[in-house]
Chain A
Amino acid sequence: MDFLSLIVKRLFGIIGVVVIATFLLSCLMWLLPGDPAAVVAAGAPDAVINEMRRDLALDRGVFGYYIHWFSGLIRGDFGAYYLNGGSRPVSAVIKATLPVSIQLIVYSQIVALFFSIPLGLISAYKEGGRFDKIVSSTLFTLVSFPAFALALIMSLVFAVKLGWVDPIGYVKPSENLGEHLKLMILPVTSIAVGLTSSYTRLLRTDVIATLKEDYVTMAASKGISNSRVLWRHVFRPSSTTLLTSAALNMGGLIGGTIVIETIFVVPGMGYEIFYSIGARQVIAMQTYIALVAFAYVFFNSSVDVITNLIDPRTRERRA
Chain B
Amino acid sequence: MPDISDTTIETDDAKATAADPHAKKKTRKTVGFYLASGWLGLLVLVTFLGAFLPLPRWDESSVDYLGSAPGTPGHFLGTTMDGYDMLSGLVNGARLSILFSFFSVLVGGSIGSFVGITSAYFRGKFDIVVTTIFNIMLSIPNLVLSLALLSVLAYSDPDHPTSTSRRVVVLILSLVIVIVPILGRIARSSTLQWSGREFILASKSMGTKNFTIIRKHILPNVAPAILAIGFLAIGSVIIVEGSLALLGIGIPGGASWGSMLAAGRGNIEFSPHEVYMPALCIAFTVISCNWFGDYVRLRLDKREAKI
Contacts and interface: CB of A to CB of B under 8 A. Distances in A.
A binds B: yes
B246 A263 contact: yes
Interface in A3-42: 16-18, 20-21, 24-25, 28-29, 31-33, 39, 42
* Interface residues of chain B: helix, strand, loop or mixed (majority): helix
Contact of A202 (B9, B148, B268): B9
Interface of B: 1-3, 5-6, 9-10, 13, 16-17, 20, 22, 30, 32, 132, 135-136, 139-141, 143-144, 147-149, 151-153, 155, 157-158, 235, 238-239, 242-243, 246-249, 261, 265, 268-269, 272, 275-276, 279-280, 282-283, 286-287, 289-291, 294
Interface in A192-243: 194, 197-198, 201-202, 205, 208-209, 241
A122 B286 CA distance: 28
Contact of B282 (A16, A21, A149, A160): A149
A237 B247 CA distance: 42
A197 B235 CA distance: 17
A293 interface: yes
A78 interface: no
Contacts of A245: 6, 9
Nearest to A286: B148
User: Which are the 3 A-B pairs with shortest beta-carbon distances?
Assistant: A255-B141, A149-B279, A144-B290
A31 B152 contact: yes
Majority-rule SS of A interface residues = helix
A96 to B, nearest CB: 20
A252 B8 CA distance: 15
Given A24-B136, A149-B283, A156-B272, A144 B235 contact: yes
Given A144-B289, A198-B9, 19 more contacts: A17-B135, A21-B139, A28-B148, A42-B157, A137-B30, A144-B2, A144-B235, A145-B286, A147-B1, A149-B280, A153-B275, A198-B10, A201-B10, A252-B5, A259-B1, A259-B246, A259-B247, A277-B147, A292-B140
Contacts of B153: 31
Interface in A225-274: 241, 245, 248-249, 252, 254-256, 258-260, 262-263, 273-274
B279 A33 contact: no
A144 B265 contact: no
A156 B152 contact: no
Contacts of A28: 148-149, 152
Contacts of B139: 17-18, 21, 293, 296-297
Interface of A: 16-18, 20-21, 24-25, 28-29, 31-33, 39, 42, 127, 137, 140-141, 143-150, 152-153, 155-156, 160-161, 191, 194, 197-198, 201-202, 205, 208-209, 241, 245, 248-249, 252, 254-256, 258-260, 262-263, 273-274, 277-278, 280, 282, 285, 289, 292-293, 296-297
